[in-house]
Structure 1
Amino acid sequence: MSPTILQSPRSVPLQQDATIMGLVGLAHASSHFAHLLLAPLFPVFMTEFGLSYAELGLLMSTFFVVSGLGQATSGFVVDRLGARPMLFVALGIFVLACVAASRVTGYAGLVGVAALAGLGNATFHPVDFTILSQRVSHPRLGHAFSVHGLTGYLGWAAAPVFLVTLSGLYNWRTAYLAAAVMYVGILLLLILQRDKLSTQVAVQHEGVAAEHSMAFMKLPVVWWCFAFFLFSTMTLAVVQSFSVSILKAMHGVSFEAATLTLSAYMVCGAVGTFVGGFIAGRTANSDRVVAASMAVAAVLLALCGTGLLGAVGTMVVLAGTGFAVGIGGPSRDMMIKNATPKGATGRVYGLVYSGLDTGFALSPFVFGVFMDRGWYGATLFGAAAVLLLSVVAALGVGRRTAAAIAPARQQV
């Protein structure tokens, strides 16, 4: 017997939906801020602690290994206990991670911060999509996914500016304490608005076999979704972790200008996600939108890798790559939703989005070796090639989802 899932009404006030989107979006932005809790200050850590690119890449790998393992299992917890308590716990862990970051004295401390922040990040996607799927009316889900993706990009964009600016004005330890205060404020706001974040748990009735809750893992389409996130986020990890260093090495761009380019990439991604929300709401074949946007982004990234565009041209095109990826974001979430069995939202999103964590974990470690050898252009070419693999995965998801829907349509 399938778990009971709360269904959103067909028509609810816009203000109610918008409030829920905004609260979930704020939480999502905070989790993406945590993705870049360490990376923007890599140059500082290299100087202060004498670290290599490979060691820095391992920090990101630590974050996403912990997050991925936690995310793959947290979906079950969210389905059983509800999304709201898991959200509050995660934000509390982020506060602890920021305080710990302000006090580190070496590489071991940074590894500990990465692991703690990764643990906090583990529950966010199952939490977010469970709340959105249950609390937002179905006709506005495309826009809800757009807002969700957009706020994620804004969180990524804010982290480098926030941390680098405060580090320049004060010092990097003070910047992390300020980040801790920010997370406390977000947690307090969500607690005050907690009635809008409640979800109905999935109840397993007596006699239901334990393996029933694992049945979704036998569906090939779920693993195609996992593969899509694995490949697409390996590319994103390169941009987040190494784009600043690549711009400095290939074109002599200043640290501040390179950091602003990374933020511009995220802002362009947010704009693309906003536009993509309208596309997702009007396009039936979400997989094709995703595949097209990722293919364009791969071409742009490869152009940056040639080094022929010059400093300004590379910065502009790299930022434009974010727009292309952002266009496919809402359609990507619709693609996953369409492939999700009824009553398994938390579990499926937990497993599928652990592919995101796996990609983030593998990529900095692999491409950190490229960076240590001075293969800056090859790093971008490699990222573009991996992004093309995500195109194949997206089309694979679409084919298998369509194959699963076709028999049901024939019976109607």
Structure 2
Amino acid sequence: MTSAHTSSVPLRQDARTIGLIGLAHGTSHFFHLLLPPLFPWFISEFGVTWLQLGMLSSVFFVISGVGQALAGFLVDRVGARPVLFGALSCFVAAALAAASAQGYTGLVLASALAGLGNAPFHPADFTILNKRVSAARLGHAFSVHGITGNLGWAMAPLFLVGLTKFSEAHSWRLACVCAAGVAALVLAVLVWQRDAIDDRQGSWGHETRKASAAAQAEHPLAFLALPSVWLCFSFFFWSTCAMSAVQNFASPVLQQLYGLPAELTSMVVTGYMLCGAAGMVAGGFLVARVQRLELTISVTLLGGAVLLALAGSGLPGGMAAMVIACLAGLGTGLAGPSRDMLIKRAAPPGATGRVYGTVYSGLDLGFAVAAPVFGAMLDRGLLSSVFYGAGAALALSVLSAAAVGQRQRAQARRVMAQAA
């Protein structure tokens, strides 16, 4: 399909699909944080430890990570739209399970259902976007997809803690019931507008015939032998470890380290994610201007690492530490578009979907491993170490990104030499 044809697609048509998928993706990130903002209330009511609470995140992301790899096959078989509907239904069930939990087992069930719901989102979202959005606007679609994810993360603590603190009953159970209502409302909107997210229509054929032929000639798992794929996986793993520390434990660490009230420190995740969303917008312009993407990633993520370490050092005042921790999100956001482009460059022709699926499973693994590790630190009173560990994880992700960039430049030199 020619670029002229794709550019003639009405903006309203593309915007409708992009907006609906953005809404769904934001909801999935909201449900990443269905339980973590409520950890202090779980400790008070059920007498659980921070390590046990960290394991709830591990349950979520282990199920999500394994399910993500399998969901791609299901999406190819039955289509992305019904899988997306099923995922949102799982979120409704997860929130209701949390609201009715009578102990730690009930929280584990809620976490498992939320992880099951989260699993299909990347293969389903990207399948619909690739098949429904015209090629000329696909980059903007990916940008909106990432930003709405950050906004979902930002809204969860505000919504859940706000309802818990300011409702008449001061009930976290009411907050969970309302979260179920959010997922049900989003599901209703998608069902109402289901024609705009039907992945059986509108395939724009973004892959060239040459790419398709290359994909057919190679074994479907051949991409797993590429070092760049695993370096990108490593990058996702380490950067997600840092995000896990902030999402799950930044609030209680700041509360204990600086004596700040819980209703104030619970906003640090919202601030971090909003700064990340702002950074992502600016980072989209950097991608077009910087050839060596790993330099952008290195500078911005190392800046974020320094800010996280400073926030955990105890040196600034309490409010200043909160602001500094939030600003660290700006660095991760700036790196986001460059990260996604780096992964795209690492993907061989015809294997983009499989590469993204594998690399994104590094995100799930990072969340699954990091949560209990940082939870154990908090149980032992190692407050500053949580922030120091997050900063160290960002630094390790920079090493992975640098290695990917070095390999890509070496490959480009070999191609130029052969052409000469």
**Counterpart in the other structure of 1:172:** 172
Once the two structures are superposed, residues 348-375 of structure 1 have per-residue CA deviations (whole angstroms, 9 ceiling, x without a partner) of 2221111001000011111111111111
CA contact (8 A) 2:20 2:190 kept: yes
Residues of 2 paired with 1:6 and 1:68: CA distance? 37
* Partner of residue 47, structure 2: 50
Distance 1:394 1:319 in 2: 23
- The residue aligned with 1:256 is 263
Aligned to 2:192: 192
Among 388, 393, 397, the residue aligned to 1:390: 397
Residue 188 to residue 9, structure 1, CA distance change in 2 (3 Å):
farther
User: What is the alpha-carbon distance in structure 2 between the residues aligned to residue 272 and residue 395 of structure 1?
Assistant: 20
Show the counterpart of 1:365: 372
Residues 156-175 of structure 1: CA deviation (Å, up to 9, x unaligned): 11111111112221421121
User: Shift in Å at residue 264 of structure 1?
Assistant: 1.2
Partners of 1:215 and 1:83 in 2: how far apart?
A: 25
Using a 3 Å threshold, how does the CA distance of structure 1 residues 23 and 100 change in structure 2: closer, same or farther? same
Deviation at residue 184 of structure 1 after TM alignment: 1.2
Q: Which amino acid aligns with 1:55?
A: Q
Residues 7 and 402 of structure 1, relative CA distance in 2, 3 Å threshold: farther
Greater Cα shift, 32-41 or 74-83:
74-83
Instruction: Provide TM-score, normalisation by structure 2.
Output: 0.89
SS in 2 for 1:328: helix
For the Cα contact (< 8 Å) 1:75–1:348, is it kept in 2? Answer: no
In the superposition, relative to structure 1, how do residues 7 and 390 fare at CA in structure 2: closer, same or farther (>3 Å)?
farther
Taking the aligned partners of 2:228 and 2:63, their CA distance within structure 1 comes to 25
Write the distance in 2 (CA, Å) between the matches of 1:332 and 1:368. Answer: 28
Whether 1:291 and 2:291 are equivalent positions in the alignment is no
**Alignment deviations for residues 21-62 of structure 1 (CA, whole Å, 9 cap, x no partner):** 211111110110011000000000000000111111111111
Map of 1:333 onto structure 2: 340
Give 3-state SS (helix, strand or coil) of 1:346's partner. helix
| Contact 2:3–2:136 (Cα < 8 Å) also in 1 | no
4+ residue runs of structure 1 moved beyond 6 angstroms? Answer: 5-8, 208-211
| Corresponding position of 1:317 | 324
1:215 is matched with which residue? 222
Question: In structure 1, how many angstroms separate the alpha carbons of the residues matched to 2:306 and 2:140?
Answer: 28
Q: Which has the higher contact order (CA 8 A, sep 6+)?
A: 1
What does residue 280 of structure 1 align with?
287
Distance 2:127 2:336 in 1: 18
Indicate which of 121, 137, 140 corresponds to 2:137: 140
The answer to whether the 8 Å contact 1:8/1:134 transfers is no
Structure 1 residues 311 and 362: CA distance shift in structure 2, 3 A: same
User: Deviations 1:238-269 (Å, cap 9, x if unpaired)?
Assistant: 00000110011100010010012221111111
The 5 A counterparts of 1:95-106 are: 95-106=92-103
Corresponding position of 1:302: 309
Matched, 1:77 2:74: yes
Cα offset for 1:395? 1.8
The structure-2 alpha-carbon separation of the partners of 1:80 and 1:282, relative to structure 1 and needing over 3 Å to count, comes to farther
Letter in 1 for 2:250: S
Given that residues 265 and 320 in structure 1 are in contact (C-alpha distance below 8 angstroms), is that contact kept between their aligned partners in structure 2?
yes
- Percent same amino acid among aligned pairs? 51
| Per-residue CA distance 1:310-364 (angstroms, 9 max, x = gap) | 1011011011011111111122222222222333333222211110010000111
Which whole-Å deviations, capped at 9, do the CAs of 1:199-250 have from their partners, x for residues lacking one? 3699xx9xx9999222222222111111111000000000000011001110
Q: Which runs of 5+ in 2 are unaligned?
A: 206-211
Return the alpha-carbon distance in structure 2 between the equivalents of residues 379 and 343 of structure 1.
40
2:38 is aligned with 1:41: yes
Report what 2:209 is aligned to.
none
Cα drift, residue 75 of structure 1 = 2.5
Q: Return closer, same or farther for 1:77/1:394 CA change in 2, 3 Å cut-off.
A: farther
CA distance in 2 between partners of 1:344 and 1:81 (Å): 20
For 1:104, what is the secondary structure of its paired residue?
coil
Tell me the residue number matched to 1:25. 22
Aligned in 2, Cα 1:41/1:190: closer, same or farther, shift over 3 Å? same
Q: Assess if the C-alpha contact under 8 Å between 1:126 and 1:345 holds in 2.
A: no
Preserved contact between residue 129 and residue 345 of structure 1 (Cα < 8 Å): no
Question: Taking structure 1 as reference, are residues 199 and 408 closer, same or farther at Cα in structure 2, changes over 3 Å only?
Answer: farther
Question: Structure 2 CA distance, aligned partners of 1:280 and 1:9?
Answer: 26
Opposite residue 82 of structure 2, the aligned amino acid is: P
Aligned-residue offset at 1:7:
9.9
Determine the C-alpha separation between the residues in 2 that align with 1:107 and 1:17.
44
Counterpart-to-counterpart distance in 2, 1:300 and 1:142: 30
* Structure 2 counterpart of 1:19, one-letter code: R
What displacement does 1:403 show? 4.2
Change (3 A) 1:9 1:174: farther
More displaced, 161-170 or 150-159?
A: 161-170
Task: Give the alignment's TM-score, normalised by structure 1.
Answer: 0.91
Q: Decide which of 50, 60, 65 is 1:63's aligned counterpart.
A: 60
> Given the alignment of the two structures, is residue 400 of structure 1 paired with residue 413 of structure 2, yes or no?
no
Determine which of 345, 350, 354 is the counterpart of 2:357: 350
Determine if contact 1:269/1:323 at 8 Å carries over to the other structure: yes
Indicate which of 120, 124, 128 corresponds to 2:125. Answer: 128
Structure 1 distance, partners of 2:272, 2:67, is 28
